[in-house]
Amino acid sequence: MEPILIVDDDPHMRNALKEAVRRLGFSPVVSENGVDALIKLQKQEFVLVITDMMMNKMDGLTLMKETRQKVGSIPFLVITGFGTIENAVESMKVGAVDYLLKPFSYEVFASKINTILNQSSKPDFIITQNEKMLKILKIADDIACADITVLIYGESGTGKELFARYIHQRGLRRDKPFIAVNCAAIPDNLLESEMFGYEKGAFTGATEKKLGKFELANGGVILLDEVGEMPLTLQAKLLRVLQEKEIDRVGGKTPIRIDVRVIATTNRNLKKECEEGRFREDLYYRLNVIPLHIPSLIERRDDIPLLAKHFLKNFNSMFGKAIEGYTDSAIDYLLNKEWRGNVRELENTIQRAVVLCKKSYIDKVDLVSLCEDEHEKNPPAIVTNIKEMEKDMIFKALEETKGNKTLAAKKLGITVRTLRNKLYSYRKNFPTLESLEYAK
Whether pLDDT at 397 is above 80: yes
Given pLDDT bands bounded at 50, 70 and 90, which one contains residue 372? low
Closest CA to 28 of 12, 47, 54: 47
Mean pLDDT, to the nearest integer, of 52-59? 86
Mean pLDDT, to the nearest integer, of 386-396? 73
The per-residue pLDDT for 88 is 58
Q: Which residues partner with 221 through β-bridges?
A: 178, 261
| Of 171-185, 240-254, 353-367, 386-400, minimum mean pLDDT range | 386-400
Given pLDDT bands bounded at 50, 70 and 90, which one contains residue 47? confident
Peptide bond just before 11 cis, omega within 30 deg: no
Mean pLDDT, to the nearest integer, of 35-49? 88
Identify residue 358 by its one-letter amino acid code: K
The per-residue pLDDT for 125 is 62
Q: pLDDT tens digits, residue range 138-186? A: 999 999 999 999 999 999 999 999 999 999 988 989 878 888 888 988 8
The per-residue pLDDT for 131 is 93
The per-residue pLDDT for 392 is 76
Whether pLDDT at 370 is above 60: no
The per-residue pLDDT for 138 is 92
CB 146: neighbour CB atoms within 10 A? Answer: 14
Mean pLDDT, to the nearest integer, of 211-219? 89
Collect all residues with Cβ–Cβ distance below 8 Å to 389 and sequence separation of at least 6: 383
The per-residue pLDDT for 49 is 94
Mean pLDDT, to the nearest integer, of 214-219? 90
Give the pairing type, strands 261-266 and 150-153: parallel
Q: How far apart are CA 437 and CA 418, in angstroms?
A: 17
> Is the pTM here over 0.75, yes or no?
no
Q: pLDDT tens digits, residue range 258-305? A: 999 999 999 999 999 999 999 999 999 999 999 999 999 999 999 999
> Contacts from 280-289 at CB under 8 Å and sequence distance 24+?
280/232, 280/235, 280/236, 280/239, 282/239, 283/235, 283/236, 283/238, 283/239, 283/242, 286/149, 286/239, 286/242, 286/243, 287/149, 287/151, 287/227, 287/242, 287/262, 288/151, 289/148, 289/149, 289/150, 289/151
The per-residue pLDDT for 94 is 64
Give the pairing type, strands 256-257 and 246-247: antiparallel
Q: pLDDT tens digits, residue range 4-36? A: 999 998 899 999 999 989 888 788 999 999 999
The more confident residue out of 375 and 117 is: 117
Q: pLDDT tens digits, residue range 218-265? A: 999 999 999 999 999 999 999 999 999 999 999 988 999 999 999 999
* DSSP labels, 386-410: HHHHHHHHHHHHHHHTTT-HHHHHH
The per-residue pLDDT for 439 is 46
Given pLDDT bands bounded at 50, 70 and 90, which one contains residue 90? low
Given pLDDT bands bounded at 50, 70 and 90, which one contains residue 99? confident
The per-residue pLDDT for 438 is 46
Q: Which residues partner with 266 through β-bridges?
A: 153
Q: pLDDT tens digits, residue range 316-340? A: 877 888 999 999 999 999 999 999 9
Closest CA to 212 of 171, 169, 244, 241: 241
On whether the CB atoms of residues 206 and 251 are closer than 8 A, the answer is: yes
Integer Rg of the chain from CA: 24
The more confident residue out of 432 and 99 is: 99
The per-residue pLDDT for 380 is 46
Whether pLDDT at 378 is above 70: no
Average pLDDT value over all residues in the chain: 84
Q: How far apart are CA 269 and CA 261, in angstroms?
A: 22
The per-residue pLDDT for 93 is 63
